[in-house]
Structure 1
Amino acid sequence: MGIAKKLASQTAIYGVSSIVGRVLSYLLVPIYTAHFAAAEYGIVTGLYAYVSFLNVVFTYGLETTFFRFANRPGEDRRELYNRTLSLLLLSSVVLTVLLALLARPLLGLLHLPPGHDEYAIWVALILGLDAVAALPFARLRLENKARKFAAIRLTNILLYVGLNLFFIVLCPAVAHSAPGSLLAGLRPLVATVYNPSLGVGYVFLSNLAASALTLLLLGRELLDFRFRWPRLDFLQPLLAYALPLMLMGLAGMVNETLDRILLPAWLPAHFYPGLSQLAAVGVYGACYKLSIFMSLIIQAFRYAAEPFFFSQSTEKNSPATFALVLKWFTLCCAFIFVAISLNLNWIGPLFLKRPEYLTGLSVVPILLLANLFLGVYYNLSVWFKLTDKTYFGTYIGAAGAVLTIALNFLLIPVLGYVGSAWATLACYFMMAALCWWLGERHFPVPYPVKRLLLWLLGAVGLVGLGQAVGHTRLGYVLGFALPAVFAGLVYLVEARRGFRA
Structure 2
Amino acid sequence: MLNVILVPIYTGVMLPGAYGQVVVIYAYFAIFNIFLAYGMETAFFRFYKDSENKKKVVSTSLLSILGSTMIFMIIGLLFKSSLSQFLEISIEYIGYVFWILALDALVIIPFAWLRANERPMRFAIIKLISVVLNLGLNFFFLILLPKLAIDNEGFLASIYKADYEILYILISNLASSAVTLLLMLRVYLRRPYVFDIDIWKRMIKYAMPVMIAGIAFTVNEVLDKILLEKILPVEIASEEVGKYGACVKLAVFMTLFITAFRMGIEPFFFSHSDTKNPQKAYAQITNYFVVLGSIILLAVVVFSDVLKVLFVRNEAYWEAMSVVPIILLAAFFLGIYHNLSVWYKVTDRTKFGAYISMIGAVLTIVVNLIFIPYFGYMASAVATLLAYGTMMLLSFYFGRMYYPIPYNFRKIIFYLVISILFSILSFYIFDRNLFVGISLLILFLGLVYKLEFENLKKLYVNR
Structure 2 length-normalised TM: 0.95
Whole-angstrom distance in 1 between the partners of 2:191 and 2:436: 56
In structure 2, the partner of 1:198 is 164
1:302 CA drift (Å): 1.2
Asked if 2 retains the 8 angstrom alpha-carbon contact of 1:29 and 1:351, the reply is yes
> CA contact under 8 A between 1:83 and 1:229: conserved in structure 2?
yes
Give the Cα–Cα distance (whole angstroms) in 1 for the partners of residues 455 and 266 of structure 2.
Answer: 28
Whether the 8 Å CA contact 2:77–2:95 is kept in 1: the answer is: yes
Whether 1:288 aligns to 2:248 is yes
Matched residue type, 2:55: R
Residue from 385, 390, 400 that aligns with 1:440: 400
Residues 392-403 of structure 1: pairs in structure 2 closer than 5 A: 392-403=352-363
Paired position in structure 1 for 2:134: 160
Question: Do 1:87 and 1:230's aligned partners in 2 also have CA atoms closer than 8 Å?
Answer: no
The verdict on how the C-alpha distance between 1:106 and 1:292 changes in structure 2, with shifts beyond 3 A counting, is farther
Distance in 2 (alpha carbons) for counterparts of 1:379 and 1:145: 22
1:219 to 2:150 alignment: no
Aligned length: 459
**Alpha carbon RMSD of aligned pairs, Å?**
1.9
Residue of 203, 209, 220 corresponding to 1:238: 203
Does the aligned pair in 2 maintain the 1:82–1:227 contact within 8 Å? Answer: yes
Aligned to 1:142: 116
For residue 261 of structure 1, the aligned residue among 226, 233, 240 is 226
**Is the Cα contact below 8 Å between 1:175 and 1:187 reproduced in 2?**
yes
Distance 1:34 1:109, change over 3 A: farther
The letter for the 2-side match of 1:199 is E
Aligned to 1:63: 41
| Displacement of 1:400 | 0.6
1:479 aligns with 2:457: no
Q: CA deviation at 1:75?
A: 2.1
1:259 Cα offset (Å) = 0.3
| Stretch of structure 1 that moved more, 250-259 or 222-231 | 222-231
Match of 2:176 among 210, 217, 234: 210
Asked if the contact 2:3–2:252 (Cα under 8 Å) also holds between the matched residues in 1, the reply is no
Contact 1:45 1:282 in 2 (8 A): yes
Distance 1:109 1:315, change over 3 A: same
- Asked if 1:368 is matched to 2:328, the reply is yes
The answer on 1:100 being equivalent to 2:81 is no
- What's 1:249 paired with? 214
Does residue 1:29 correspond to 2:7, yes or no? Answer: yes
Q: Which residue pairs with 2:423 in the alignment?
A: 463
Partner Cα separation in structure 2 for residue 34 and residue 466 of structure 1: 28
Using the TM superposition, give the Cα deviation of residue 198 of structure 1 relative to its aligned residue in structure 2, in angstroms: 2.5
Structure 1 residue matching 2:154: 3-state secondary structure:
helix
- Residues 159-199 of structure 1, C-alpha deviation per residue, up to 9 Å, x if partnerless? 000000010001111123xxxxxxx2x54231243333532
131, 153, 156: which one aligns with 2:105: 131
Does structure 1 retain, via aligned residues, the 8 Å contact 2:57–2:199?
A: no
Shift of 1:406: 0.9
Partner SS, residue 359 of structure 1:
helix
Q: Distance in 2 between matches of 1:265 and 1:29?
A: 23
Q: How does 1:46-61 map to 2 (within 5 A)?
A: 46-61=24-39
CA distance in 2, matches of 1:469, 1:348: 19
Letter in 2 for 1:259: D
Cα displacement (A) at 1:288: 1.0
Whole-angstrom CA distance in 2 between matches of 1:107 and 1:336: 40
Amino acid at match of 2:207: A
Distance apart, 1:470 and its partner CA: 4.1
How much has 1:56 moved relative to structure 2? 0.7
CA distance in 1, matches of 2:140, 2:275: 51
Q: Deviations over 1:415-464 (max 9, x none)?
A: 11011000000100000000010000000001123431222111111112
Give 1:352 deviation, angstroms.
1.4
- Aligned partners of 2:455 and 2:195: how far apart in 1? 55
- CA displacement at 1:480 relative to structure 2: 2.3
Q: Name 1:493's counterpart in structure 2.
A: 451
Structure-2 separation of matches of 1:106 and 1:279: 24
Q: Which residue of 2 aligns with 1:82?
A: 59
Deviation at 1:219, TM superposition (A): 2.5
Question: 1:390 Cα shift?
Answer: 0.4
Q: For residue 311 of structure 1, report the CA deviation from its aligned partner.
A: 0.7
Distance, in Å, in 2 between the alignment partners of 1:109 and 1:277 is: 18
Unaligned runs of 5+ in 1: 1-21, 177-183, 270-274
**1:44-63, Cα deviation, whole Å (9 max, x unpaired):** 10011011111010011111
- Relative distance call for 1:194 and 1:465 in structure 2 (3 A) is same
Q: Is the contact between residue 38 and residue 283 of structure 1 (CA under 8 Å) also seen in structure 2?
A: yes
1:43 paired to 2:21: yes
Q: How much does 1:106 deviate?
A: 4.1
Which residue does the alignment assign to 1:14? none
**Sequence identity, in percent?**
38
Whether the 8 Å contact between 2:60 and 2:200 is mirrored in structure 1 is no
Query: Which residue type is aligned with residue 89 of structure 1?
Result: L
CA deviation after TM superposition for structure 1 residue 331, in Å: 1.3
Whether the 8 Å contact between 2:290 and 2:415 is mirrored in structure 1 is no
1:312 corresponds to which residue?
Answer: 272
Provide the rounded CA distance (Å) in 1 between the counterparts of 2:408 and 2:82: 49
Which one-letter code corresponds to 2:438 in the other structure? F
Q: Distance in 1 between matches of 2:135 and 2:226?
A: 25
CA distance in 1, matches of 2:268, 2:447: 30
Change (3 A) 1:227 1:43: farther
Q: Deviations over 1:321-349 (max 9, x none)?
A: 00111111111111111111122222212
What's the counterpart of residue 9 of structure 1?
none
Q: Specify every segment of 5 or more residues in structure 2 that has no aligned partner in the other structure, as ranges.
A: none
Distance of 2:14 and 2:428 partners within structure 1:
33
